[in-house]
Structure 1
Amino acid sequence: MDRLKLFFRKGGAKVGMVKQLNKITDDERIAISQKEYDRIDMNLKFYKNEFPKVEYLNSNGVRKRRKFYGSELDKKACERLSSILFNEQCEISAKDNTANEFINLVLAQNHFNQAFEEKLETAIALGGVAARPYVDDQDNIRIAWAYADQFYPLRSNTDRISEAAFASKTVRTENDHPVYYTLLEFHEWTSATSYRITNELYRSEKADSVGMQVDLGILYPGMQPKVEFDNIIEAPIFAYLKTPGRNSKNLESPLGLGLADRALVQMKTINQIYDQFYREIKLGKRKIGIPEEFLRSEINYNADNTISEGPNMIFDAEQDVYVKLRGDSADSGVQNLTPDIRASQYHDSLDIALRSFEDYVGFSAGTFSLSSSGSIATATEVVSNNSKTYQTRSSYLTQVEGFIKDLCKAILEIASIGELFSDGLARYTGDVDVEINTHFDDGVFVDKDKQKDEERTDVAAGIMPKLQYLMRNYGLSEQEAKRWLNQVDDESPEYSRNAFSEETEEVE
């Protein structure tokens, strides 16, 4: 029966009765050209350090192919930038207590702080990342992530994307052949407060084609083709993080640029230098030339005046240092044929390219390039010498903060829709449009001792609670900080009242 249905669908696709797509961007609802996703695919190759093999002619004039050895600079740069942008010490809070407790509960259940740093790394590499909350079979709110190549804007305003499609691919073996399924989830507004989610499943026997539309029940039994929600505030039930800066590759595109887009020439140059240097080291291994006569077989004189030759002299089977010389080249005896490796030339070329890369992507000088001592500068040295990395971080944090606010509001929106849960009851009934605050840990950008002294002054002035001071500067939980204050009160009540004031006077 399934084969019969598939047969009729194939016939319907040929005459236009069944929807069929070659690329996802062929859908008329998607407002982005395929060139943008070809660019994202190029970014992905740089991030994964996947490059085509190098073709060359060997010394005998034979065409050969070999692996290209890239530097993995894209991965390293994205990893470093994401680590200074966001970490587990980030604090997310809402002004409303009920909303604050619910948001932090959902974020903790999804291990958001740990997962977001990894997702942020890929967002920097590819130009963006999207997240959408959903309700699973156990009535828990989960967060699904979509990389830049899985997110397709439908319509965008001047400040944000309001409608989009999410793509997820599945490979299944059917009749001993791989079959590729693509689920498209469209998020659209039907009115100012009405929101519609449309699910479509496509099947293809080719990896590079979306294929024809098929029944959702093949892979997702029970999934509804369309779901509509009323009384939704004018904000999408997803959040999109775009990297800062204008998309210079396509001025009309709302998608961000990846790291490779910002310094494509520099990154290609660095990869070429790495590849050529690796090749030079490989071909420059030690070689010693041995005259062929040194390897002649041994001649033995027998007792009956006959002559016999011994076994042929050969090199050790594991030896690749020695090379046999013949003819005139053997007249000079043993020769050292090891070529000189141009290490200093490659070092200087790489340093120039790395400095240019740092400038184009917004890192302080010395972040990746070699210092005069020949070692890579530490993060603290980089920040203390130049504030360019800090400025880049500030630009990214503006986008990250907006993304977190949109995601928190989307979580509250999903939780307020009762029909999404098995019992029909909403998990959150408060105001969805609440103020969200995000406190980022500045890490190497802030002198911790100086921060502690400044906040001690704030405590003495009565504008910062002692409880918050202990939690921020000693890494204590709220319960542990309260226990500290109670112990101080029990041991020395007078010191507890006056300690901060006296220490502040000494500092001043």
Structure 2
Amino acid sequence: MTTQNLANITDHPKIAVSGTEYDRIRENLKYFAGRYPQIEYKDSNGTKQKRDYNHLPVGRTAAKKIASLVFNEQAEIKLDDKNADKFIQDQLQNDRFIKNFERYLESCLALGGLAMRPYVDNGKVRVSFVQAPVFLPLQSNTQDVSSAAIVTKTIKSEGQKQKYYTLIEFHEWKDGERYTITNELYKSDNPDTVGARVPLSTLYEDLEETVNVNGLSRPLFTYLKTPGMNNKDINSPLGLSIFDNAKTTIDFLNETYDQFMWEVKMGQRRVAVPTQMIKPEYNQQGEKVIVKRQFEAGQNVYEQLDNGDMDKGIGITDLTTPIRSDDYIKAINEGLALFEMQIGVSAGMFSFDGKSMKTATEIVSENSDTYQMRNSIVSLVEQALKELIISMIELAIAYDLYKGSVPTMDKISINLDDGVFTDRNAELDYWIKVVNAGFGTDVMAIEKVLNVTPEKAKKIKNEIDGNTLDEANAERSLEDVSTYGE
């Protein structure tokens, strides 16, 4: 079993995803991280130079903005069963899940998918986030991924050399019932290859090669992917990045922005001078090799004028050209407008024409493209979180960390706050009309307008009616006691 060699992770016989799909994910990561090679060019003297590529972080900005609209710290996860709810709240709070999920949702939107896998650590159920480059489906049906491999890479110094280890964790169903986790370790001298399989004890002393987990009704991991069809590979179970079909527009934006920044840099003053002001230098053979300018060192604003003659009054001529800022800004905004259309958000979310600016309500109104796209993502997020909660409880039961029943999907509620899309004044007017028409109660209106639980709404209604008194902060007058009694 230790003779197997792998050049690429997708060469493993169990992995059912093509290398092309993972090349696409790595390219998405380049756009998300903003990793671009330096620009090579020749300066005025013909010397090769390099400079950083100026780019706009469009991919990261889009993923971050949409992720914050979908999920934030106002999100709530509730279970009908009080014991199960208390257990889950303790685990999520201990693991800072809400905060971490908002951050990793950016990666999901930018790379097309995200897996979440619960595990047990010191008597607590924690959640590990597995990003797209290290999550490899093994089997899948038309709706979900049922088996997958999770990859962990480790670098270890051995003597004067670096060794690269790759741990592949296979999650599979055996005989359709038994859930099995199989671990394989590979070692390589080259970071670009997986290498040869070695015993697990080489790096992990306590890790078993095969582990069976009993009592699971679904895969231990939960895979969340972006909505929509994968039009790059219609047979792939992996999702697309939100900007997968807008890469050419991102390239256009980056190229335009880079030219604009370079034109600003090169738009400094530049003049032509007569040859009398240029001092040539010669080598030992008498050949002219360098034209040295007789001005302050470091200045680059002078160019030679071969036919110039200071005695004839030609002198120094200003060659500075104006910067085409308006043209570049217009082109960038046109590119941003096209980018908005391609990723499916409302016009004006990223672009700004400098003349009129849409309000946040206009951009994210209930009829907008952004609102519709958010709803598509929210439905998938809610489903994934419910599946994760079930897996966490099943794992806790398997390790005797929780005593109780496993909740069903309909007993788990996910509340993702969408207050940014709600016109509070319009909602208040609506509920006032509902109550006045006799179609609803005051408690219903308070619950919806203030976004509180029914119990909290009843308490607020009682306080408004004067039926309750905060004993800690208020004292009853003698007149009140004599009138209404103790």
Smaller-chain TM-score bracket: 0.7 to 0.9
Question: Which position in structure 1 is the counterpart of 2:86?
Answer: 101
Which of the residues 261, 267, 278 maps onto 1:278? Answer: 261
Which of the residues 219, 242, 247 maps onto 1:264? Answer: 247
Looking at structure 2, the residues matched to 447 and 109 of structure 1 have their Cα atoms a distance apart, in angstroms, of 35
Looking at structure 1, the residues matched to 388 and 435 of structure 2 have their Cα atoms a distance apart, in angstroms, of 33
- Where in structure 1 are there 5+ consecutive unaligned residues? 1-15, 297-312, 419-424, 494-508
Question: Which position in structure 1 is the counterpart of 2:427?
Answer: 451
C-alpha contact (below 8 Å) 1:24/1:210 kept by paired residues: yes
Question: Which position in structure 1 is the counterpart of 2:406?
Answer: 431
Question: Which position in structure 1 is the counterpart of 2:150?
Answer: 166
Looking at structure 1, the residues matched to 309 and 115 of structure 2 have their Cα atoms a distance apart, in angstroms, of 66
Q: 1:322 to 1:63 in 2, by over 3 A?
A: closer
C-alpha contact (below 8 Å) 2:55/2:254 kept by paired residues: yes
Question: Which position in structure 2 is the counterpart of 1:309?
Answer: none
- Deviation of the 1:93 alpha carbon: 1.2
Which of the residues 99, 103, 115 maps onto 2:100? Answer: 115
C-alpha contact (below 8 Å) 1:185/1:199 kept by paired residues: yes
Aligned AA (2:401):
A
- SS of residue paired to 2:216: coil
Q: 1:18 to 1:354 in 2, by over 3 A?
A: same
- Deviation of the 1:371 alpha carbon: 2.7
Question: Which position in structure 2 is the counterpart of 1:328?
Answer: 308
1:349 aligns with 2:331: yes
Which deviations, in whole Å up to 9, do the C-alpha atoms of 1:223-259 show, x marking residues without a partner?
A: 11111123321x1111111101100010100100113
C-alpha contact (below 8 Å) 1:46/1:260 kept by paired residues: no
- Deviation of the 1:162 alpha carbon: 0.8
Looking at structure 2, the residues matched to 489 and 348 of structure 1 have their Cα atoms a distance apart, in angstroms, of 62
- Deviation of the 1:329 alpha carbon: 6.8
- Where in structure 2 are there 5+ consecutive unaligned residues? 280-292, 472-486
TM-score, with normalisation over the residues of structure 2?
0.83
Looking at structure 1, the residues matched to 325 and 41 of structure 2 have their Cα atoms a distance apart, in angstroms, of 23
Which of the residues 177, 186, 189 maps onto 2:173? Answer: 189
Aligned AA (2:330):
D
- SS of residue paired to 1:416: helix
Looking at structure 2, the residues matched to 427 and 268 of structure 1 have their Cα atoms a distance apart, in angstroms, of 52
Looking at structure 1, the residues matched to 275 and 357 of structure 2 have their Cα atoms a distance apart, in angstroms, of 48
Query: RMSD in angstroms over aligned alpha carbons?
Result: 3.3
- SS of residue paired to 1:165: strand
Question: Which position in structure 1 is the counterpart of 2:287?
Answer: none
Which deviations, in whole Å up to 9, do the C-alpha atoms of 1:347-394 show, x marking residues without a partner?
A: 222222211111110011111122351x76453342249601111111
Looking at structure 1, the residues matched to 41 and 406 of structure 2 have their Cα atoms a distance apart, in angstroms, of 65
Matches within 5 A, 1:268-417: 268-289=251-272, 315=295, 328=308, 331-371=313-353, 373=355, 377-384=358-365, 387-417=368-398
Question: Which position in structure 1 is the counterpart of 2:130?
Answer: 146
Q: How many residues are paired up? A: 451
C-alpha contact (below 8 Å) 2:277/2:294 kept by paired residues: no
Aligned AA (1:397):
V
1:70 aligns with 2:55: yes
Looking at structure 1, the residues matched to 85 and 445 of structure 2 have their Cα atoms a distance apart, in angstroms, of 22
1:489 aligns with 2:471: no
- Deviation of the 1:37 alpha carbon: 0.4
Looking at structure 2, the residues matched to 466 and 391 of structure 1 have their Cα atoms a distance apart, in angstroms, of 26
Identity of aligned residues (%): 37
Which deviations, in whole Å up to 9, do the C-alpha atoms of 1:403-440 show, x marking residues without a partner?
A: 1111111111111102xxxxxx3324322435321111
Matches within 5 A, 1:199-278: 199-233=183-217, 235-278=218-261
Looking at structure 2, the residues matched to 382 and 34 of structure 1 have their Cα atoms a distance apart, in angstroms, of 39
- Deviation of the 1:178 alpha carbon: 1.5
Looking at structure 2, the residues matched to 458 and 427 of structure 1 have their Cα atoms a distance apart, in angstroms, of 44
C-alpha contact (below 8 Å) 2:151/2:166 kept by paired residues: yes
